[in-house]
Structure 1
Amino acid sequence: MTTKLTPTAAALSSSKTQSNEKEAPVDVESVRAQLLRPYPSISLRGILIILIVIGILSWSLAGSEPSPANRVNSIFDPFIAMGNLIGRMLPPTFEVDRVRNVSIDLFGNQVLSFAIERSTLQLFGANWQIGWLPVISAVFETIQMAIIGTIGAVLMALPLSLLAARNTSPHPAIYQIVRLVLNFMRSIPELVFALLFVAAIGLGPFTGVLALAFGSVGSLTRVFSEAIEQIDPAQVNAVKATGASGIQNFVYAVIPQALPLFISYTIIFFESNVRHATILGYVGAGGVGFLLFKYTGTSAYDMLLGATLVLVVAVTIIDRFSSWLRARFI
C-alpha cells in the first residue's frame, strides 16, 4: 500500500530537504569569540603540579651538574673533547692474529680444523694485513653467550610464569611471593650479577651466560605471566573438563595461546642480551666487551673504532634476522 502525498505536503517535504542541504550560516561573532578567548585560568592544583615539575627538574640538573674534575669550562668543551677523541679514532684499524687455529666441533667431535696465517697485501701504495680478526671471534662469543643466556632465562621463566599469573597460580600467597621474588631479581642489573659470578666462579664466558640468564629471568617471567593472563579461559576450562593434569593443561591450553607472545618476547630479550653481553665483558665476563676494554685501556682508539664497527654490523644483521623471525612465525 502506497501513500500519496498532497501537493501541500510534497511542497513542505521538498522545502525541508532543500533547507537541510544548505549549510547553516556562520556566526562570525561566535567564531571571533572562540579565536580571541582569554587564556584558560590555572587552578591551584595546576600551579602546584607546575612547581613540583620545576622542582624535580632543578633537582635533576643539580645532580648532573659537571664538577671541576670534569674539566668543563664552557658548553663547547664536551664537543671539542669528543672531536679530539674521534680524530684519534680515525682511520679505524683492525687487529689481525699472526696465526689463528679454527676448529668446528659438533657434539664434542671435531668436524673441521684449519689455520689462518696473517699475510700482507700491497694495494694502492699501502700495506694491508689480511688474516683472522680477533674481534670476529669475540662477536661470535658474545652471540653464543646471548643465545645460551636467553635460553636459560626462558627455561626458568616458563614454570615461574605459571606461578606469577593470576589465572594459573595455585594460591594467592604463592602468587604474591613469586611476584616479590621477581621484583627483587628485576632490581638487580646484569652487571651486578656478573660481578657476583666473577667473584664466585671466576672469569670467562660462562660467567656472562649466568649473569644474562639470572638478569633476564625476572623481566622475562613478568611478560610471560602477563601473556598467560591474556589467554581465553574457555579453552583452559575445556581442557580441564577432560580430566587433564596441570602440566597437560599448560601444554595443551596455555602454551598454544601464549606461544606467539612467548616467541616475540624471547626474540626481543635475545637482542637485548647481545647488547648486555657486550657490557659484561668489561668486568671479565668474556665476549667483545673484554676486547673493547683492552683497546680502551691501551688507548688503541683506532682499533676500538674498528671493533665497534664490526659490532654494529653484527647487531644490524641480528636485528634483521629477528624481524624476519617475527614476521615468519608470529
Structure 2
Amino acid sequence: MNELKPRYPNDDEWLFPITTSVPIGNLTDHTFYISDDKVRCGMAFSVAYNTAKNSNNNKELCVNVSSMLCNVYGSPTVFRTSTEAALNRIGVRPSKVVWLPYMAKECNIDKNEIPQLEWPTILVYFSCCVLVLLKKFTDKESYSDFMSRCICDLRELVGFDPDAKLDIPFDFRRANVIKTMLGSCSTLRHDVIKFILRKSNWGDAEIGGVCQYLCAELAWSGMRHFSLINDVLVKPQSPVLFDDRVLSEVEDFTEASEAVASHICPQLYMSVASYFEMLMVHSSRFPTLIAVAQEVKKGDTSCARSSASDSEVILTAGADPITVKALVNLHNSNC
C-alpha cells in the first residue's frame, strides 16, 4: 500500500488536452476587462472586482472573476483560453473586451469613482479567487473562518498595511457560485494549478511566495479522511489493515491509494481529478477505517495540540460501532 507523498511535475508532464466546450442554448454577452499595461494592471483588476462584488447576476460574477484571474500576471493570455472555455460551458460569451486604462474614457469608466486596488490587495484577492475555485466549502461559518485566516496570513506575506482593513472579497453565496460554475471546468483548474506550481517552483520574485502559500494551503485539500487513514493506520502498519472485518475496505483503500500515488500531482489530487477519480477516494468506500483512525487519533495524547483542521470530525455513516471499538483496541494493543 502506497504512502501519500507530494509530487511536483515539470511543464512537460502537464499535457492535458484542451477541450472545446460546446455551449447549449443561447450565449449571454458580457464585458471582459483586460489590462493594456503589463506593469500596472490595477485598473482592470479593480473594475472587474468592483463589478463582481456588486453583481447579483451569477454569470456576470463569473465573467469578472475570470477577468480578475487574467489581470494579475504580466500576460493576460495565461488564463485567457481556459477562462473562456469555462465561460462558454455556462453559456457566456465575453463579447466586448475593454482594454484598461486605454478604453476607460470611451466606456465611461471613471477611475475616481471606483476604488483602485493596490498591488498587495490584488495579490491577496487573486489568492482568494484561486482558493474559492479549487476548494469546496460546506457552510458559511467554515468558509468565513478559513478565508479570514488565509487573508491574515497573506496580508503579512505581501506586505499589506497592518493598520488597513481588508475584507473577504466574496461572501459565501458568491464563493459557491464561483466554485460551482467556474471551478467545474477542468481546463481552468489545470491552468490555475500549473500556474501556482510553476511560480512557486521558480521562486518568481513577484508572486512566488503567494503561490507557495497557495500550494501548501491546497495540499491534500478535500482528502482529510484519506490522509487520516494513511497517517494513523498505514504508516505504522496497523494490524487493523490485516483484519478480515475490513478486508473489502482495505482493498478499496489500496486501489484509491494507488490512484492517488500515481497521479501527476498527488497532493492536489482533488483539485485536478475528474469526477470519477474523486469517487475513488470518497469516504463512503472506507467508513470503518475512517472511524477507527479517528478514534485512535482522538485517544493519542501526542495529538492533543493538533490544529483545528486536524481535529475536524469526519462523518462515517456505515461504520458499525462495535466493530470500530474492537479494531481500535486491536490497534492500541499492538502499536
Instruction: Give the TM-score range, shorter chain.
Output: under 0.3
Could you tell me the TM-score, scaled by structure 1's length?
0.22
- More helix by proportion, 1 or 2? 1
Whichever of the two has the greater Rg, that structure is: 1
